[in-house]
Amino acid sequence: MSDPGKLNTSSSELDLDRPNIEDYLPSGTSIHEPHGQLRLRDLLDISPTLTEAAGAIIDDSFTRCFKSNPPEPWNWNVYLFPLWCCGVVVRYGILFPVRVIVLAIGWIIFLSAYIPVHVLLKGHDKLRKKIERYLVELICSFFVASWTGVVKYHGPRPSMRPKQVFVSNHTSMIDFIVLEQMTPFAVIMQKHPGWVGLLQSTILDSLGCIWFNRSEAKDRETVAKKLRDHVQGSDNNPLLIFPEGTCVNNHYTVMFKKGAFELGCTVCPIAVKYNKIFVDAFWNSRKQSFTMHLLQLMTSWAVVCDVWYLEPQTLKPGETAIEFAERVRDIISVRAGLKMVPWDGYLKYSRPSPKHREQKQQSFAETILRRLEEQ
């Protein structure tokens, strides 16, 4: 791995008008502001800074966002253990094969309808798109059925109108499938390798999906332009964006990227909350591949979740894009019962910008200089 500190610092929003992290960290840990003559003790006493460092080592709000919390074992008991074993047999021996068959049937139906339509109806775009949308919704329903998904949708269904984007919190790639089942969204996603990438470049492309690459620096401008073009078109599928930029464990929300909020259109928030009663739907991409994650879902009893379509929001006069993003994040977090943390999801992949450390340094330096002047 690279040397500490040599990893590129986060290139995402470094604006100074981002919410103040100090508001989120426990109070009483920031360096207090004493007055009076500056003494040796004041400079020697580094205990507040050390306490903050030790506090971060012991527990920090960022790592908590990506922790998959394993359920408490409940089956270590003479009565429950055999029952649990029967459950395992049913899940792996009966449910799983049935689900695989259902999924296979779904794919056969989908491909045998999609490929001819895609090829033959090349000239009749409007009709072709209509059928393709319906087919994608169909295959997503098959996917959801293959995990016995119990999804409850609340609120008015999204409508196909121009100048609107949908934003949602992100727990796993299945968020997209759960939402797609109801509405043919065009989504903006990270380009993946493997079979997922293949699906992305063929089928999802026809929906109007947009791809980005986290690791490419210049990517952001091209993607921003594609987003703007997409929302202006009236015939395009409604755009779905996951502004967190990464999968979070469905107990917290990390900071929303402002890209979705400066497109000059209405933002319709969607909140998704999974019930962990049978399985934890959080895809910990550091721990398992997507295939393993799907298999885990397919060998559980059910995937239960709630989807809330919330009231569309527009930029208030005098509000910056970041404030708008935070406001929408608050709406979504309250609805889904998630806690908000002030960290950028991309800190999973890069180091924090030196600006944060410099803010602390600056405030301490100013205290010293001020007290010197008072003498």
Stretch that binds other proteins, among 213-221, 230-238, 289-297, 349-357 (CB under 8 A): 349-357
Stretch that binds other proteins, among 3-11, 75-83, 208-216, 219-227 (CB under 8 A): 3-11
Backbone torsion region of residue 21, taken as left when φ is above 0, otherwise alpha when ψ lies between -120 and 50, otherwise beta: alpha
Cα 267 to Cα 31, 116, 140: the distances in Å are 39, 36, 24
Phi, psi values for residue 339, rounded to 5°: -90, 145
Q: Does the footprint of other proteins cover residue 14 (CB under 8 A)?
A: no
Stretch that binds other proteins, among 93-101, 136-144, 170-178, 353-361 (CB under 8 A): 353-361
Which residues inside 153-212 make contact with other proteins, applying CB under 8 A? none
* Distance in Å, CB of 187 to other proteins, minimum: 28
User: Per-residue string for binding with other proteins, 304-343, x by CB under 8 A?
Assistant: ---------------------------------------x
Nearer to other proteins, 32 or 218 (CB): 32
Identified binder of other proteins from the candidate list 14, 19, 22, 25, rule CB under 8 A: 25
Instruction: Report the candidate in 329, 327, 326 with the shortest Cα–Cα distance to residue 338.
Output: 329
Q: Does the footprint of other proteins cover residue 16 (CB under 8 A)?
A: no
Phi, psi values for residue 310, rounded to 5°: -100, 170
Q: Does the footprint of other proteins cover residue 62 (CB under 8 A)?
A: yes
**What does the alpha-carbon distance between residue 239 and residue 359 come to, in Å, rounded to a whole number?**
37
3-state secondary structure of 329: helix
Q: Does the footprint of other proteins cover residue 8 (CB under 8 A)?
A: no
**What does the alpha-carbon distance between residue 112 and residue 139 come to, in Å, rounded to a whole number?**
12
Burial 137-147 (b: 16+ CB within 10 A, else e): ebbbbbbbebb
**What does the alpha-carbon distance between residue 160 and residue 186 come to, in Å, rounded to a whole number?**
11
Q: Token pair of 4, please?
A: 């500490």
Q: Does the footprint of other proteins cover residue 292 (CB under 8 A)?
A: no
Identified binder of other proteins from the candidate list 218, 286, 311, 317, rule CB under 8 A: 286
Identified binder of other proteins from the candidate list 49, 75, 112, 289, rule CB under 8 A: 49
* Distance in Å, CB of 315 to other proteins, minimum: 29
Identified binder of other proteins from the candidate list 90, 101, 120, 368, rule CB under 8 A: 368
Residue 231 near residue 239, CB atoms below 8 Å: yes
Q: Any bridge partners for residue 351, and if so which?
A: 9
What is the DSSP secondary structure assignment for residue 246, as one 8-state letter?
S
User: Per-residue string for binding with other proteins, 236-275, x by CB under 8 A?
Assistant: ----------------------------------------
